[in-house]
């Protein structure tokens, strides 16, 4: 029995060598520059075109899932020679790149799965508002390409006093297999706030590049904080602002269009009449603010509404025109009868 098996192997080896030697030029075995494998072994056919009957013979261990390794060409030549594959054309290649095919489950997917479970079971708010911090760095996990389904929480606990959680996840690892992944960390309910990125002096205008949306623990925020870029961009700093601090609504004001002591155009508006004179602002003001202005012509202080940069409008009630005043009755002297 042993002799018969040995003779069969020898005959197969000789047949393979004869086939390789006799193969037409376009079917000669040729080394591949790159190979993608789906199992835990690398076969001759993964590395060699036209490998013939030995294509399914395993010769190397495959890289880890999602990884790429290199195999020197001379090592491949030596490995396939043992299986009677001769005359391998390397095409001038010195190495072959071998990649293990995989499906990636990102750290973000796992984090979202945990946040969703915490939101549903422990009423910490919406999942998007829960900050999940793992005790050890969580990296992407690579599984077989045939793995179906998504991560699923099998068990989770949460201590509201310490904000600590422990979770066991069921992870897809193969076509019909699932594995367990245990993780621990802390979860905090957060809220979005607008943070100033650079120091801004009083009266300085907030630009889009000056702000950043950040998440802060909900316990550190309140209704007084600015939560939208639109609530900050284009407004002016009411006081000096330091970089890195969240903005409060009280920190901002409409930008002043008229500065104190600024020369302004003072416009008197009456029905059918518009009169413009020079004035001096006694106080600053934003669009729509009522401020005091010195009329430089009459030297009187009046109040008007800021209507634009350097513009103040004075609206007066309709005057009584002389033509509309009834003339007085002329005085008469009584004559004695």
Range from 21-25, 32-36, 174-178 that averages highest in pLDDT: 32-36
| Overall average pLDDT of the 260-270 stretch | 88
In 3D, which of 306, 321, 216 has the Cα closest to residue 266?
Answer: 306
Looking at the chain, the whole-number percentage of residues with pLDDT higher than 90 is: 55
pLDDT band at 323 (very low <50, low <70, confident <90, very high): very low
| Overall average pLDDT of the 123-140 stretch | 92
Please tell me the chain's helix, strand, coil percentages from 3-state DSSP, rounded to the nearest 5: 20, 40, 40
Q: Which CATH class is domain 191-253?
A: alpha beta
Q: Which two tokens stand for residue 43?
A: 């076969």
Q: Which two tokens stand for residue 326?
A: 């009834």
User: Is the model more confident about 53 or about 176?
Assistant: 53
Q: Is the pLDDT of residue 335 over 50?
A: no
In 3D, which of 191, 194, 170, 166 has the Cα closest to residue 180?
Answer: 170
d(CA 78, CA 226): 69
- 27 within 8 A of 4, measured Cβ to Cβ: no
User: What residues contact 16, with CB distance under 8 A and at least 6 apart?
Assistant: 52, 53, 54, 83, 84, 85
Pairing of strands 178-196, 164-172: antiparallel
- Using DSSP, state whether 50 is helix, strand or coil: coil
Q: Is the pLDDT of residue 7 over 70?
A: no
Pairing of strands 311-315, 263-270: parallel
Domain covering 22-101, topology: eubacterium ventriosum atcc fold (2.60.480)
Q: Give the Å distances, CA to CA, from 253 to 152, 213, 223, 257, 329.
A: 48, 20, 17, 12, 59
Beta bridge partners of 134: 185
Question: CATH number of the domain at 256-315, out of 3.40.50.300, 1.10.1740.10, 1.10.3720.10, 2.30.30.760?
Answer: 2.30.30.760
- In this prediction the pTM is 0.60
pLDDT band at 31 (very low <50, low <70, confident <90, very high): very high
- 164 within 8 A of 158, measured Cβ to Cβ: yes
Give the pLDDT score at 248.
92
Q: Is the pLDDT of residue 134 over 90?
A: yes
Q: Is the pLDDT of residue 326 over 80?
A: no
Q: What is the pLDDT of residues 208-256, one digit of tens each?
A: 999 999 988 888 888 899 999 999 998 999 889 999 889 999 999 888 8
Q: Is the pLDDT of residue 190 over 60?
A: yes
Q: Which two tokens stand for residue 289?
A: 């603010």
pLDDT band at 26 (very low <50, low <70, confident <90, very high): low
Q: What is the pLDDT of residues 68-120, one digit of tens each?
A: 999 999 999 999 998 888 889 999 999 999 999 999 999 999 999 999 999 99
Structural domain spans, the chain: 22-101, 105-190, 191-253, 256-315
Number of Cα atoms under 13 Å in the Cβ half of residue 131: 13
Q: For 10-24, 56-70, 166-180, which range has the lowest pLDDT when averaged over its residues?
A: 10-24
User: Is the model more confident about 130 or about 218?
Assistant: 130
Give the pLDDT score at 25.
54
Give the pLDDT score at 183.
96
Give the pLDDT score at 1.
33
Contacts of range 89-92, beta carbons closer than 8 Å, 24 or more positions apart: 89/28, 89/29, 89/30, 89/31, 90/31, 91/30, 91/31, 91/33
Give the pLDDT score at 318.
42
Q: Is the pLDDT of residue 314 over 50?
A: yes
CA angle 58, 62, 68 (to 5 degrees): 140
Taking the CA atoms of residue 80, residue 85, residue 87 and residue 88 in that order, the dihedral angle to the nearest 10 degrees is: -40
Average pLDDT, the chain: 84
User: What residues contact 9, with CB distance under 8 A and at least 6 apart?
Assistant: none
Q: Which two tokens stand for residue 77?
A: 């030549």
Q: Which two tokens stand for residue 223?
A: 């209704």
| Overall average pLDDT of the 2-30 stretch | 47
In 3D, which of 266, 225, 269, 261 has the Cα closest to residue 245?
Answer: 225
Which DSSP category does 123 fall into? -
Give the pLDDT score at 175.
76
Q: Which two tokens stand for residue 332?
A: 């008469």
Give the pLDDT score at 317.
53
Give the pLDDT score at 319.
41
d(CA 140, CA 151): 12
């Amino acid at each position: 029995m042993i002799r018969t098996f040995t003779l069969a192997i020898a005959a197969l080896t000789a047949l393979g060598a004869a086939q390789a030697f006799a193969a037409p030029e376009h079917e000669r075995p040729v080394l591949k520059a790159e190979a993608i494998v789906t199992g835990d072994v690398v076969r001759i056919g993964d590395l060699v075109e036209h490998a013939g009957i030995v294509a399914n013979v395993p010769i190397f261990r495959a890289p880890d899932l999602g990884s790429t390794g290199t195999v020197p060409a001379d090592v491949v030549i030596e490995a396939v020679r043992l299986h009677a594959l001769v005359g391998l054309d390397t095409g001038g290649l010195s190495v072959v790149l071998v990649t293990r095919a995989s499906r990636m489950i990102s750290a973000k997917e796992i984090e979202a799965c945990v946040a969703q479970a915490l939101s549903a079971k422990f009423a910490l708010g919406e999942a998007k508002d829960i900050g999940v911090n793992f005790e050890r760095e969580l990296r992407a996990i690579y599984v077989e390409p045939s793995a179906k389904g998504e991560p699923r929480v099998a068990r989770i606990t949460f201590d509201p006093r310490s904000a600590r959680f422990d979770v066991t996840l069921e992870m897809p690892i193969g076509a019909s297999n699932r594995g367990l992944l245990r993780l621990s960390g802390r979860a905090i309910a957060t809220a979005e706030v607008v943070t100033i990125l650079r120091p801004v002096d009083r009266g300085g205008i907030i630009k889009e590049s000056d702000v950043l949306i950040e998440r802060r623990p909900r316990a550190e925020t309140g209704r007084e904080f600015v939560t939208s870029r639109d609530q900050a961009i284009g407004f002016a700093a009411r006081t000096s602002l330091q970089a890195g601090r969240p903005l409060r609504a009280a920190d901002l004001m409409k930008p002043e269009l008229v500065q104190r002591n600024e020369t302004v155009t003072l416009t008197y508006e009456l029905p059918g009449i518009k009169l413009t004179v020079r004035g001096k602002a006694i106080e600053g003001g934003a669009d729509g603010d009522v401020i005091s202005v010195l009329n430089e012509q009459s030297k009187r202080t009046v109040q008007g509404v800021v209507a634009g940069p350097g513009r103040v409008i004075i609206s007066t009630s309709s005057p009584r025109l002389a033509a509309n005043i009834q003339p007085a009755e002329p005085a008469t002297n009584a004559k004695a009868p």
